[in-house]
């Protein structure tokens, strides 16, 4: 089967750094993506890792370790607008299917 595990909630203060972890178990792993979703909105793409290592995009970075079936999303210089749900997603089965985790709700406090 396929499963992804991520914490349900994380709270951090404005200006801080927060890391959201994701472990996965899947067949035919192709890559790991991260999405952000604000309440009532559609998910929007943040980052993608196909190979081990760190990918940096502005204040957001994403890391992947294929041998450990593990990845994380790192958010730096947190802003209030970063309060949202963050989903890791595994791309599998020849790159056709994207399976999402249950999401991590991030609360940023002043």
Question: Which residues contribute to the site for another protein (CB under 8 A)?
Answer: 30-31, 33, 35, 41-45, 48, 50, 87, 89, 91, 95-103, 105
Residue 50 C-beta: closest distance to another protein, Å: 7
d(CA 91, CA 32): 6
Comparing CB distances to another protein, the nearer of 10 and 50 is 50
Residue 42 C-beta: closest distance to another protein, Å: 4
Comparing CB distances to another protein, the nearer of 19 and 98 is 98
Q: Is 10 helix (H, G, I), strand (E, B) or coil?
A: strand
Polymer length in residues for the chain = 110
The closest of 59, 55, 95, 85 to 71, measured between CA atoms, is 55
Residue 15 C-beta: closest distance to another protein, Å: 27
Comparing CB distances to another protein, the nearer of 74 and 102 is 102
d(CA 88, CA 35): 7
Taking every pair of Cα atoms in the chain, the longest distance, rounded to a whole number of angstroms, is 43
Residue 49 C-beta: closest distance to another protein, Å: 9
- Residue 52: phi and psi, rounded to 5, are -60, 145
Comparing CB distances to another protein, the nearer of 70 and 100 is 100
């Amino acid at each position: 089967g396929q499963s992804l595990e991520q914490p349900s909630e994380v709270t951090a203060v404005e200006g801080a750094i927060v890391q959201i972890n994701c472990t996965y178990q899947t067949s035919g792993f192709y890559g790991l993506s991260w999405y952000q979703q604000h309440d009532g909105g559609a998910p929007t793409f943040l980052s993608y890792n196909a190979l081990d290592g760190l990918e940096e995009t502005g204040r957001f970075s994403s890391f992947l370790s294929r041998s450990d079936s593990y990845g994380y999303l790192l958010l730096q210089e947190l802003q209030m607008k970063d309060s949202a749900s963050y989903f890791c997603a595994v791309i599998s089965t020849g790159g056709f299917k994207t399976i999402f985790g249950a999401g991590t709700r991030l609360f940023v406090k002043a």
